[in-house]
Amino acid sequence: MFYPQFKIDSKIQNAAAEVMKKITPRLQEIDEITEYNQQKMMAAFHEAGVSESHFVSSTGYGYGDRGRDALDMVYAKALGAEDALVRHNFVSGTHALTVALFGVLRPGDTMLSVTGIPYDTLRGVIGMTGDANGSLKEFGIHYKEVQLKADGTPDYQAIEQAIEPNQKMVYIQRSRGYSLRPSLLIEDIEKIAAIAKKKAPNCIVMVDNCYGEFVQTEEPTSRGADLMAGSLIKNPGGGIAPTGGYIAGRKDLVESCAYRLTTPGTGREIGATLGNNRELFLGAFHAPHVTGEALKTAVFTAGLMNHFGYDVTPAWNEPRADIIQAVLLEKEEALIAFCQGIQKGAPVDSFVVPEPWDMPGYDSQVIMAAGAFVQGSSIELSADGPMKPPYAVYFQGGLTWEHAKLGVLMSLQKMVDKGLVTL
C-alpha cells in the first residue's frame, strides 16, 4: 500500500513486492544481529552506570565532566575495546582518524596501508595530495601501501612480505570508499592482524572503521586490532548525534590520541561538552537498531536494482561488512537521476535538485544527495558518487526501514521518468 502523493508506478510496486519475498530471510538475519548488538549496547550502558546526571552540560575546561567519562566507557564496552575517546569536537571521521595517526606515529615511523590507497580525504593527511602542509609526510612519517588483488580482496602473501620486523603501523580501511572492492569482514581484519603481529609483534594495527560499526556482532578491536576510529554521524551516532567522532582501542594508545586532541599532560581530562551529552548517549543507544535499518535498505536496494538489470555490489544475499551499497549505473545521466530521486525522497530539503560539483579532496566532480536532519550524515538516507566510469552510486543509510525503502522506490521512479529504465 502506497500513499498516493508519491506516485510509484504499479510495475515498480510489483517488482518491489517480488524482491521482498526473495530477501525476507536475509532481513531476518539482520534482525538477529541487531538484537544481539542492542543487548550489547544495553550491557555497556549498565556497566557504565548511566544516569540522568550524566546528561548535565559543562563549560570552560570541562573538568569533572562525568557524562563525558561515562560516554567513553559506553563506547569502549560496546565496541569491545579497552578504552575510547568520544568527542563532539571531532568534526568528521577523517578528523578522528587524523588525530589517531598523529597520536601514535612519530617522525621516522612508517604507516603501511594493506588495503591499497586510502579514502580520498585521507590522502591529503598522508601527504599524497595537496601541498602536504601539516601532513604526516611533512612531519617525517613515511607511507607505504600494499595493493589489493585484482578481485579487490587483501593480498595476504604480499602483506606478509611487506611488513618489516620493526613496522610501526599496519593500516586497514574496512569500507570500500569510492571503489568497487569488497568491504572487509571482521574475519578478514582478524587474519590481517594475525599476520601483522606474527611479523612485527609490537606494531599497531589500526582500522578505519567508518560505516562498519554494528554491522556484525563484533568489532575490529575484539579481533586483533589495536586502534580504530570513526564518525558519529555514521553508524555509531544512531542518527541522533549532531556531530563528533570516536577513537577506540588499547588504553595506552587512546591516551596518546587524547594528548594529540588536546595537550600533553591534560589529554582527556579537559573538554567541555556544551550540552551535547544527552544526544550522544541517545545516539549510542539507537545505533545498533538504526544500523540494522540501513542494512535492510541496502539489501533491498541490491535486490531491486539487480531486478532491473544493474550490477550491484554486494549482492543482496552476500555477507555485509558495512552499510554501503554500490550500484553500477554505467551512465552519467543515470547517476544524476538516481541521486535526484533519493533527494526527492528525503524528509529534509526534498525540493533541492542535486548537481555534480567540485568537492574539496576529490579528483573528479561528485554528486551528493542528502536531505538529512544532520548535515552530511551518512547513516541517514543518502547517495553519492564520483562523475566518472562506471558511474557507480554509493548508497547508504536510512533511519527507518519504511522511509528508506520508499526513498529507493522514488529514486527508481525518477530514473523511469527520465527514460533511463524501462518497465
Considering the domain boundaries, does residue 142 fall inside one? yes
Report pLDDT for 362. Answer: 73
Q: What's the structural domain count of the chain?
A: 2
Hey, what's the cell of 371?
A: 536531505
Residue 150 pLDDT more than 70?
A: yes
Domain co-membership, 321 together with 408: yes
Domain co-membership, 237 together with 314: no
Domain co-membership, 296 together with 391: yes
The CA-based angle 166-168-170, given to 5 degrees, is 115
Considering the domain boundaries, does residue 118 fall inside one? yes
Report, as an integer, the average pLDDT of 259-272.
Answer: 96
Considering the domain boundaries, does residue 423 fall inside one? no
String of b and e for 292-317 (b: at least 16 CB within 10 Å)?
A: bbbbbbbbbbbbbbebeebebbbebe
Domain co-membership, 33 together with 106: no
- CATH number of residue 331's parent domain: 3.90.1150.60
Report pLDDT for 3. Answer: 84
Separation CA 60–CA 136 (nearest Å): 31
Express each pLDDT in 154-210 by its tens digit: 999 999 999 999 999 999 999 998 889 999 999 999 999 999 999 999 999 999 999
Express each pLDDT in 310-334 by its tens digit: 999 999 999 999 999 999 999 999 9
String of b and e for 6-27 (b: at least 16 CB within 10 Å)?
A: eebeeebeebbeebeeebeebb
Express each pLDDT in 54-107 by its tens digit: 999 999 999 999 999 999 999 999 999 999 999 999 999 999 999 999 999 999
Domain end point (choices 221, 247, 275): 275
Domain co-membership, 27 together with 70: no
Residue 327 · residue 316 · CB < 8 Å = no
Type and span of the H or E element at 143:
strand 142-145
Nearest to 206 by CA among 94, 100, 344: 100
Nearest to 97 by CA among 172, 186, 195, 148: 172
How far the first Cα of the chain sits from its last, in Å, is 19
Express each pLDDT in 388-403 by its tens digit: 999 999 999 999 999 9
Report, as an integer, the average pLDDT of 355-375.
Answer: 88
Report the DSSP beta bridge partners of residue 110. Answer: 142
DSSP state of 268: G
Separation CA 89–CA 243 (nearest Å): 7
Domain co-membership, 238 together with 102: yes
Residue 363 pLDDT more than 80?
A: no
Domain co-membership, 229 together with 296: no
Residue located via cell numbers 518497465: 423
Domain co-membership, 95 together with 136: yes
Q: In terms of DSSP bridges, do strands 245-249 and 392-396 run parallel, antiparallel, or are they unpaired?
A: unpaired
The CA R_g of the chain, rounded to the nearest whole Å, is: 21
Nearest to 103 by CA among 137, 65, 136: 136
Domain co-membership, 114 together with 16: no
Domain co-membership, 204 together with 181: yes
Residue 1 pLDDT more than 80?
A: no
Considering the domain boundaries, does residue 229 fall inside one? yes
In terms of residue numbers, what domain contains 367?
4-39+285-417
- CATH number of residue 90's parent domain: 3.40.640.10
pTM, two decimals, is 0.96
Residue 322 · residue 344 · CB < 8 Å = no
Residue 105 · residue 168 · CB < 8 Å = yes
Domain co-membership, 187 together with 293: no
Considering the domain boundaries, does residue 383 fall inside one? yes
Give DSSP secondary structure letters for 386-414: ESSTT-EEEEE--SSHHHHHHHHHHHHHH
Give DSSP secondary structure letters for 342-375: HHHTSSSSTT-----B--TT-SS-EEEEE--SST
